[in-house]
Structure 1
Amino acid sequence: MEASIIAQYIHFTEEQKRRANSVDLPEFLRRRGEKLLPSGRDKRLASDHSVTVRGNQWFDHATEQGGLAIDFVQKFYGLSFPDAVTALLGGESGIGYLPARKEPAEQRKPFALPPAHTDMRRVYAYLLQSRCINRDVLTEFARAGLIFESAEPSADKTKIYHNAVFVGNDEHGVARHGHKRSIYTSGKSYRGNIESSDPRYSFHWVGVSDQLYVFEAPIDLLSYISLHQEDWRKHSYVSLCGTSEHAMLWMLEQYTLLGEIVLCLDNDNAGVKASKRLTGILSEYGYENIRIDRSEEKDWNDELVRACETEEKMTMEME
């Protein structure tokens, strides 16, 4: 308590504040014991998947707020401005944090899906066996060209990498978005959007009813349908591939029949925050028929896997 009071009276020079604001946040977080997950060129907080950091910058995709190192430490550690600066400068611990490297401006590459493998054997095995996705549901999306298995050569051309690719098409049926998910059950897993993907067109299904179901991830979308198969083709579904509202709003703009929105985001802190934020955005756009359907487990795939395990156990007991 006394240290906090003393810190409030510390005068920092502009140079000290500049150095604090330039600290490399991934390094700072790792040294504080935080776990970070790869997310394209960014790092995502394992404790809050809506927050990404890169260099000395951060962004909360749930609240659409972001900034530099000092306000990150203030917001996520509940510190005052002087205490945040002191922490970033090393404080009493004497730890020196490296500044973030300046990244050269890069030219945005045109969007392109990775090359497809000749079959989907690995993707089917992964989604059916490890994720318990219903075969008929998976086949329907695969036939529509919305899911395929990639075959991408490594940089030295000695290996071929296989991923599940979830495709998002625009209103003309042209692919504008792709989300890749590794299909290996051991070792490091990977998931992320293909470079230059347009967030408005992420993985979705268009039905004929007025219902739109909204998810964070493609596998959760498929899991929900697997759990609720009755007349599923009639309804519309969209995966945000995160928690940003862009794809949801594009669906509502393109398909004006949609009027009942069901938010099916994860049952964790980030998902609850995002559901609240998306409800507010929908209300601002004049949508009133909004409801939340939250899984009992952390997400819909966890619930599907649990249901499959329960069914398998019951079958074994009957035998």
Structure 2
Amino acid sequence: MHFGGSTYCTREHDSLKISNGKWCWFSRGIGGYSALDYLIKVKEMPFTQAVETIMGNLSAVPPTFAPAPKAPKEKVLLLPQVNRSATHAIEYLHRRGIDYELIDFCIRTGRLYESYPYHNVVFVGVDADGKPRYANQRGIGSDFI
């Protein structure tokens, strides 16, 4: 029922006033801001029943979180810069007991080179198409800084 201005009351409870999105039941000293508060405090409904009443008796399923599938990024193999000559690498590998012919074959086929500027030996692994897929660097200097 319209009480006056923007205030309304119910036929059941004349001391229950509803105004501007708020309600107050003066005789009981309770009030609230939402329909949910009203149903729980005035109509004495359990929380779940009050929610079902507001939702129209629909069982609301909470949303589930599912991260968006990420497209796999193409990985790029970044190899160290090649030195103009491989003299340090060749000498290091030969001192380790590897034959010059094998070292030369690996350098010609791109499986081995000397890096610039640190003169490390770089061993390159390739796939069936000869494309580099992994690499390992071996320091050949004797001084540790």
- TM score, norm. by length of structure 2: 0.45
- The structure whose residues are more often helix, as a share, is 1
* Structure possessing the higher relative contact order (Cα contacts under 8 Å, 6 or more residues apart): 1
- TM score, norm. by length of structure 1: 0.21
